[in-house]
């Protein structure tokens, strides 16, 4: 009955061990420029500006891809993703990173095909350089005060909920760590689960606003812990569905 489970992962510091944006610009020696520009640009525009600088410095898209392939992804997470996919869970990513970074890393670890959807900022190759654009552009602002202007994950969850078949009940599991994972948490129903990372902003916001959260909360500490909890949760939900059917 795992086919009735939809799992939505945040990417940075959730699915992977680190932050993909910071991973790249620190290894491209652009930390100082990042610090200089940080007060002047929103994050999405800042990452696009740093990619422009990489191009000016002669860094190719292949160089960026090689850098991304060094990003740690815990073997336990790789294993549980493969297991969940094999059991029939619908796996998705909702991230403030970008399509190129996520695809490159997931392909490197052999799990890109496990995900039915990657919801993130689009990345395109423009005259030899990588460009990042917002998922929610200025022409159609999402209007959410809880989320950055480029992506409202709460709206993403609502779109997923609408797309689900009305004839078959689905259980959503949302896994995240950051402050921008709070909005999607508020969209989850009573039968759903949110898995916030311990000592990270999402859990803090849930703790301070517990009356607003309808789903069950399962905390996790690190990648190995996440894999164990997710595996047990999939098993538990599947067994519940077997009994009820």
- The CA-atom distances, in angstroms, between 133 and each of 22, 44, 126 are 17, 7, 12
Residue 192 annotated as lining a ligand binding site: no
CA distance 89 to 54: 38
CA distance 202 to 219: 10
Residue 29 annotated as lining a ligand binding site: no
CA distance 82 to 110: 9
Please name the residues in contact with 222: beta carbons below 8 A apart, sequence gap of 6 or more: 74
Phi/psi at 93 (5° precision): -120, 135
Q: Which residues does residue 193 pair with via DSSP β-bridges, in sequence order?
A: 173, 216
Tokens of 76: 């336990």
Helical spans, DSSP H, in 13-141: 20-27, 31-37, 43-56, 61-68, 75-87, 99-108
CA distance 175 to 193: 9
Residue 96 annotated as lining a ligand binding site: yes
- CB-CB contact of 208 with 234 (8 Å): no
CA distance 111 to 107: 6
Q: Tell me whether residue 12 is one of the annotated catalytic residues.
A: yes
Residue 10 annotated as lining a ligand binding site: yes
Q: Tell me whether residue 192 is one of the annotated catalytic residues.
A: no
Residue 126 annotated as lining a ligand binding site: no
* Active-site pick, 12, 48, 181, 192: 12
Among 193, 194, 192, 196, residue whose Cα is nearest residue 179: 196
- CB-CB contact of 184 with 151 (8 Å): no
Known binding-site residue numbers: 10, 12, 21, 96, 177
Known binding-site residue numbers for Mg(2+): 10, 12, 177
Kindly list the catalytic residues.
Answer: 10, 12
């Amino acid at each position: 009955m795992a086919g009735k489970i939809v799992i939505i992962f945040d990417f940075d510091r959730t699915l992977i061990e680190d932050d993909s944006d910071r991973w790249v610009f620190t290894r491209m020696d652009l930390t100082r420029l990042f610090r200089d520009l940080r007060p002047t640009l929103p994050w999405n525009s800042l990452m696009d500006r740093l990619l422009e600088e990489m191009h000016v410095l002669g860094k190719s898209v292949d160089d960026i891809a090689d850098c991304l392939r060094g990003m740690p992804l815990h073997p336990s997470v790789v294993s549980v993703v493969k297991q969940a996919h094999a059991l029939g869970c619908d796996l998705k990513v909702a991230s403030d990173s970008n399509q190129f970074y996520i695809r490159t890393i997931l392909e490197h670890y052999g799990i890109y095909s496990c995900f039915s959807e990657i919801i993130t900022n689009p990345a395109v190759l423009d005259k030899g350089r990588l460009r990042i654009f917002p998922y929610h552009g200025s022409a159609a602002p999402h209007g959410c005060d809880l989320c950055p202007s480029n992506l409202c994950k709460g709206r993403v969850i609502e779109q997923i909920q609408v797309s689900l078949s009305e004839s078959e009940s689905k259980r959503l599991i949302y896994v995240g760590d950051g402050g921008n994972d709070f909005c999607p948490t508020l969209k989850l129903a009573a039968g759903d689960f949110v898995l916030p990372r311990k000592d990270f902003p999402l859990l803090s916001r849930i703790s301070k606003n517990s009356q607003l959260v309808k789903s069950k909360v399962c905390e996790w500490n690190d990648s190995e812990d996440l894999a164990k909890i997710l595996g047990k949760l999939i098993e538990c939900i599947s067994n519940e569905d077997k009994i009820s059917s």
